[in-house]
Structure 1
């Protein structure tokens, strides 16, 4: 048994312990997911999916099972187990409180509503990234990883019915938002806050880890921005739920727009990166800054100390 409570250990040890907990659950989840697919559909389908071959009709339901068992559940369980049973301080490490001003959810909604132009701008910068020649091998690996992620996501988002759309809203929108926010803005950001003693550093480093975790390197900058927005939602409110709400809005709207485009209900291609103009990029940035200041004022209130590097919530 550990003599010192986990929440009183050094942040470095807390971070290491959480990585161990997550790695163990992640490995178990992946082994279990592969075993389930092998039993239900045969080992050949496992090999086909590994080779990004989705021609088999059974590959799509198998992908859903793999997504849930190997990724969503481990990302959810690791922070829950760490917060509730390892550190025994869920209010500190997960921040599940719902006792916050309801206006925060409205402001968060408008932040996400006005974010697409800025996300597009960062995405376009990201796409132009070229590494030095001596890093050609790394760049090739990054592009291959990006393509693999794109093809797997494309297979899941190939929606034929409204039921497929609803299923993806629940899985990619809601469940992913809850799991990832518990892990990144809950546990990891809290530990980094303790470690660095600086809220801004904790938020942006967590956002960078969050973005890198997705293994989509040419979408690193826009996901970094989103991670930072979610981080400030949590840091100022002391609750994980505004970040979950913002994350759900981002992912869920992407699913809905993709479905509407596939069904030719709209002409806006979700993969198009030339939708907005320069003045819209600037307008998006200004509005988001204003909305964040409004969010901060509502969350902290007049009697609360300004954000200065001390731990909030």
Structure 2
């Protein structure tokens, strides 16, 4: 039986009139460096598990020979393209998407800050991103040409040869996957390489990893560029390292200024999807522009491209600053 003292009874009206205190959930206080180690471990673990699953699926569907030919990038196998798609989706796209979601929802319990899934951003950003991606092509070409000329010291000649062999293997795999025979295979490639890859990689890099490095370095710009370097290194394509760092930084600024991961996804999708479409149009002899040609523009185009991209990023930043007071009301 509950017994109330006369003093407590006299305080009941006052207690009833007091506003109910809002419950503030406890936040996860894991050190940012440990957060980085955690997301790295979760990602690597999931990639290993799903790579084994992908290998099992390929072997079950096409047999052991196709499985070995897939990892050897043997283009003579007629099933190589399909097997590579299975490998891409199961061993890469799925784990890269699951890792940041598991980390943000289950480990950090903070989806909003780590994934930034809100669509509450100015639609003008989408137009600005489209224009930035369009005008960034000469810069990408210039960086690619600089990257191709980089050579390692003679003492590291063996490493350089391994890097070039790995790059050529990756290019053969990409060519096998993008040997699109009709518009439906092209749309499938746009969906997987353009959209799904963009979502998975942006959730991981611009969502989780960039947020971790913002908290670790206390500097937004440092976090963006560190994440861009890690993003480029992750792809293991050393002779396109610089242009991919540039892309990663651009995506990083899209997300940092808008506060939404979907701006990064949009830019990433435009980059990947346009590459797929141009490859298809070139293979079908509809356009003459070879997507592998890295000598389309001249020095003036490079300079103009850089000026326009920086100017548009400046506008993008100003739009985000102007919108912040409205969002806080």
TM-score norm. by structure 2 comes to 0.89
Give, in angstroms, the shift of residue 267 of structure 1. 0.5
Matched, 1:130 2:169: no
SS in 2 for 1:99: coil
SS in 2 for 1:140: helix
Structure ID, larger Rg: 2
Unmatched tracts of structure 2, length 5 or more: 1-25
Alignment of 1:149-160 (within 5 A): 149-160=170-181
* Counterpart residue number, 2:278: 257
| Whole-angstrom CA distance in 2 between matches of 1:76 and 1:9 | 22
Give, in angstroms, the shift of residue 52 of structure 1. 1.3
Aligned residue pairs: how many?
300
Unmatched tracts of structure 1, length 5 or more: 305-313
* Counterpart residue number, 1:33: 54
| Whole-angstrom CA distance in 1 between matches of 2:235 and 2:28 | 28
| Cα root mean square deviation, aligned | 1.1
User: Which one of 113, 130, 146 corresponds to residue 167 of structure 2?
Assistant: 146
| Whole-angstrom CA distance in 1 between matches of 2:67 and 2:191 | 24
| Whole-angstrom CA distance in 1 between matches of 2:128 and 2:306 | 15
SS in 2 for 1:8: coil
SS in 2 for 1:272: coil
Task: Deviation per CA, 1:190-209: give whole Å up to 9, x if none.
Answer: 00110000111100010000
Task: Deviation per CA, 1:108-148: give whole Å up to 9, x if none.
Answer: 11000100000000000000001100111111111011011
Give, in angstroms, the shift of residue 56 of structure 1. 2.1
User: Which one of 50, 55, 61 corresponds to residue 71 of structure 2?
Assistant: 50
| Whole-angstrom CA distance in 1 between matches of 2:178 and 2:38 | 35
Task: Deviation per CA, 1:247-267: give whole Å up to 9, x if none.
Answer: 000000000000000011110
Give, in angstroms, the shift of residue 303 of structure 1. 5.9
Alignment of 1:66-81 (within 5 A): 66-81=87-102
1:7 and 1:14 in contact (8 A); partners too: no
Moved more, 226-235 or 50-59: 50-59
| Whole-angstrom CA distance in 1 between matches of 2:43 and 2:177 | 25
Moved more, 143-152 or 53-62: 53-62
Task: Deviation per CA, 1:87-115: give whole Å up to 9, x if none.
Answer: 11011101001011110111011000100
| Whole-angstrom CA distance in 1 between matches of 2:268 and 2:28 | 27
2:54 and 2:86 in contact (8 A); partners too: yes
User: Which one of 70, 79, 83 corresponds to residue 104 of structure 2?
Assistant: 83
* Counterpart residue number, 1:270: 291
User: Which one of 224, 230, 244 corresponds to residue 245 of structure 2?
Assistant: 224
Matched, 1:209 2:230: yes
| Whole-angstrom CA distance in 2 between matches of 1:221 and 1:20 | 26
* Counterpart residue number, 1:60: 81
User: Which one of 268, 287, 308 corresponds to residue 308 of structure 2?
Assistant: 287
Give, in angstroms, the shift of residue 54 of structure 1. 2.3
| Whole-angstrom CA distance in 2 between matches of 1:173 and 1:23 | 23
Task: Deviation per CA, 1:212-244: give whole Å up to 9, x if none.
Answer: 110100000100000000000011111101110
User: Which one of 165, 170, 177 corresponds to residue 191 of structure 2?
Assistant: 170
